[in-house]
Amino acid sequence: MQASRACMKVVLVLVLALAAGSSVAQAKDNALTLYAAYRDGGSFTDVNSGNKLPIAASGAASVSLDLKLDTRRQLQLFLSRQNSQMSTGQAIAPTPPGGPVPAKVPLTMTYLHIGGTSFLDGRIGEGVYLVGGLGATLFEPGVDGFENELRPSLNLGIGYQWPLGEYVALRFEARGYATLVNSTTGVFCSGGCVISIKGDTVTQGDVQLGLSFRY
């Protein structure tokens, strides 16, 4: 819970800072984009059995704030949230205080990255662009006895922006994500874990469709 609150405070501070700086940018070279995505990939490992614990593919929602840096580049603040499940294969005993660990553990992942976009055709708002960012991933397992984990991460992707008019455009994107877990003893543990989970890097990929409002 504390990690989640800290993450939201960081979002608020960055949004206010970026919004304050946007007043010097040229009109319509800034953008607020809302995305719908389908995301797949990622897994942890059961320390005891060595079995993979895959993260289920599911939908995700994202938002980005893009602010002009020069004629073809923008600074981007990117926030994305996915509600998924981590498969354990079977219910795990012994029983923790909140009940047995289910075969599918609810898992919410939130990415918060700051980075940028670079339009290859040399003009903001049209054509092919590269995108990327650095930040953190917040893992929130929905099972008693497991605690949240906040780990560093990055994303890289490519997209195409298609103007629908002066102020609205569509974005088509493919992004890859990598989160540095770097744990050989256990993640999500808060004292008496009944399952030990480890991982080095959690990687995911998605395709996104975004509606971009330029200003």
180 occurs within a structural domain: yes
Phi and psi (nearest 5°) for 14?
-65, -40
Of the candidates 112, 93, 114, 113, which has an alpha carbon nearest to the alpha carbon of residue 103? 93
204 occurs within a structural domain: yes
23 occurs within a structural domain: no
| pLDDT score of 195 | 59
| pLDDT score of 68 | 95
Domain containing 40: what range? 2-18+28-214
pTM of the model as a whole: 0.81
Q: Mean pLDDT per 10-residue run, the chain (215 residues)? A: 53 52 60 98 79 92 97 96 86 49 86 97 92 96 82 97 95 96 64 63 95 95
| pLDDT score of 198 | 67
The total of structural domains in the chain comes to 1
199 occurs within a structural domain: yes
Task: Kindly tell me the burial class for residue 57, based on how many C-beta atoms sit within 10 Å of its own C-beta (0-12, 13-18, 19 or more).
Answer: middle
45 occurs within a structural domain: yes
The label of the residue with tokens 């890097």 reads 201
CATH number, residue 82: 2.40.160.20
Dump the DSSP string for 85-139. Answer: EEE-SS-BSSPPTT-PBPSEEEEEEEEEEEEEEEETTSSTTSEEEEEEEEEEEEE
Contacts of 60 (CB under 8 A, 6+ apart): 36, 37, 38, 39, 80, 81, 82, 206
| pLDDT score of 6 | 56
